[in-house]
């Protein structure tokens, strides 16, 4: 019976109901889209790096798990010394560089060694670069920037020409000659990391342990496990950023629900007086108001989740390089955030409604 009052009340005030549900959906969508973007981006980078196909990533001492955060402080000449160690099949030096306009990561590679480690690119068009001003790009970057073989694009303040387009997933979106990128970066002979392929990939951790004995202090990581490293625990500020997003969304939700429920109990003072005169307890009134609030939030959660999927799909079609990851965990977090907003936001209005004097409520016009 309580639900009948709640549903009829919501139907009788369609604008209030619609605006409240919309606000809660925005709260849910805000969490899912923003956290989905950060998580998705990090996850996509992890998958792309792991997708190189190497077994080990060898970085200088103190290097961050985020490749873009590091500079080129590893001597390229180290490569032969590592390569001569037992169990190493091949080694590929890579210089990682970030272009800020447009925002994209570049790998400076030596194609023969990179192919040996990664198994080679899958070309969709064109060929490998053969001049310092040529680049190979992946299909997603090509689609995003509407580039074809032969087109030029300015990266790192250099006019670079597309020589080939490859299938995405091999570390970076743009590849160019290692020496050329070292020249642009003013760091001849220096690289960011080495990708290492083992003769036997079954005991990567054993090989890492041996390398650590020979090269103490260096960051030597298991590449197939790299995706797992790309999470909140290993990226500074990542979890804090997500927590701030949830907190802001929660505050918005609480304020919206508070205003909505406060307005509705002021409108329905006389109705509450009728219920109190019929013998409705304070608990009855409080649960009535809170159930209405929670129902609005549940509808908002459903619409917000659907809405966030639509936003993500729309954003991906416009910006193909964007990566989103809307996980069940974050769907639950967003739903809990909305429901907590519903409970906290409606608590004061519900208590106010329940404490109304029935005589005064009846006198209210």
Partner 1 sequence: MLLETVDLKKTYRTGKVDVEALRGVNIRIRAGELVAIMGPSGCGKSTLMHLLGAMVRATSGQVLVDGKDIARMNDSERTAVRRTKIGFVFQKLNLLPTLTARANIEIARTIQGSEGDSPTDSYLAEILKLLKIDEKLDRKPSELSGGEQQRFAIARAVSHRPAIVLADEPTGALDSKNSEAVLQMFRELNRKFQQTILLVTHNPELAGYADRLIEMRDGLVVHDSGSVASAAVGV
What are the backbone dihedrals phi and psi of residue 197, each rounded to the nearest 5 degrees, phi first? -110, 130
Least distance (Å) between residue 296 CB and partner 1: 16
Q: Is 12 exposed, middle or buried (0-12, 13-18, 19+ CB in 10 A)?
A: exposed
Beta strands in the chain (DSSP E): 56-59, 74-75, 88-100, 103-109, 123-126, 134-138, 152-155, 158-166, 174-177, 190-191, 193-198, 219-222
Least distance (Å) between residue 286 CB and partner 1: 13
If the CB atoms of residues 250 and 289 are measured against partner 1, the closer one turns out to be 289
8 A C-beta contact, residue 215 and residue 302: no
If the CB atoms of residues 4 and 186 are measured against partner 1, the closer one turns out to be 4
Tell which residue, 139, 141, 113, has the closest CA to residue 52.
Answer: 113
If the CB atoms of residues 111 and 358 are measured against partner 1, the closer one turns out to be 358
Bond into 102 cis (ω within 30): yes
If the CB atoms of residues 214 and 357 are measured against partner 1, the closer one turns out to be 357
CA 135/CA 130 separation, integer angstroms: 9
Least distance (Å) between residue 3 CB and partner 1: 11
If the CB atoms of residues 162 and 275 are measured against partner 1, the closer one turns out to be 275
Least distance (Å) between residue 276 CB and partner 1: 7
DSSP characters over 112-167: HHHHHHH----EEEE----STTEEEEEHHHHHHTT--TT-EEEETTEEEEEEEEE-
* Cα–Cα distance list, 28 to 22, 105, 155, 245, 340 (Å): 10, 31, 37, 11, 12
Residues contributing to the site for partner 1 (CB under 8 A): 1-2, 4-5, 8-9, 11-12, 270-271, 274-282, 284, 357-359, 362
Least distance (Å) between residue 102 CB and partner 1: 55
If the CB atoms of residues 170 and 276 are measured against partner 1, the closer one turns out to be 276
If the CB atoms of residues 173 and 276 are measured against partner 1, the closer one turns out to be 276
Least distance (Å) between residue 284 CB and partner 1: 7
Least distance (Å) between residue 301 CB and partner 1: 24
Q: Which two tokens stand for residue 232?
A: 């909140």
């Amino acid at each position: 019976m309580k639900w009948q009052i709640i549903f009829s009340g919501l139907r009788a005030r369609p604008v209030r109901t619609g605006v409240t549900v919309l606000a809660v959906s925005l709260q849910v969508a805000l969490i899912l889209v923003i956290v989905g973007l950060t998580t998705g981006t990090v996850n996509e980078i992890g998958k792309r790096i792991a997708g190189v196909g190497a077994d080990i990533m060898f970085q200088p001492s103190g290097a961050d798990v985020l490749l873009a955060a590091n500079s080129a402080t590893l001597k390229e000449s180290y490569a032969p010394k590592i390569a001569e160690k037992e169990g190493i099949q091949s080694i590929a030096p890579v210089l990682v560089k970030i272009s800020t306009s447009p925002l994209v990561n570049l790998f400076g590679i030596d194609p023969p060694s990179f192919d040996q480690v990664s198994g080679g690119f899958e070309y969709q068009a064109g060929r490998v670069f053969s001049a310092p001003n040529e680049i190979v790009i992946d299909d997603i970057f090509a689609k995003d920037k509407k580039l074809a073989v032969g087109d030029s694009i300015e990266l790192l303040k250099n006019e670079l020409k597309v020589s080939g387009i490859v299938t995405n997933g091999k570390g970076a979106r743009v590849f160019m000659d290692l020496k050329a990128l070292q020249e642009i970066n003013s760091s001849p002979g220096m690289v960011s990391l080495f990708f290492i392929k083992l003769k036997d990939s079954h005991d990567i951790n054993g090989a890492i342990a041996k390398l650590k004995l020979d090269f103490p202090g260096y960051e030597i990581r298991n590449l197939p496990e790299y995706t797992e490293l790309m999470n909140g625990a290993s990226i500074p500020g990542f979890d804090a950023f997500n927590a701030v997003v949830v907190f802001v969304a929660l505050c918005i939700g609480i304020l919206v629900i508070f205003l909505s429920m406060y307005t509705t109990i002021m409108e329905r003072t006389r109705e509450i007086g009728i219920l109190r005169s019929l013998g409705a307890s304070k608990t009855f009134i409080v649960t009535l108001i809170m159930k209405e609030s929670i129902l609005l939030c549940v509808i908002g959660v459903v619409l917000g989740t659907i809405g966030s999927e639509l936003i993500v799909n729309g954003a991906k079609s416009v910006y193909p390089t964007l990566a989103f990851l809307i996980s069940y965990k974050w769907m639950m977090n967003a739903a809990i955030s909305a429901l907590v907003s519903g409970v906290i936001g409606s608590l004061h209005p519900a208590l106010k409604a329940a404490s109304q004097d029935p005589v005064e409520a009846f006198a209210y016009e």
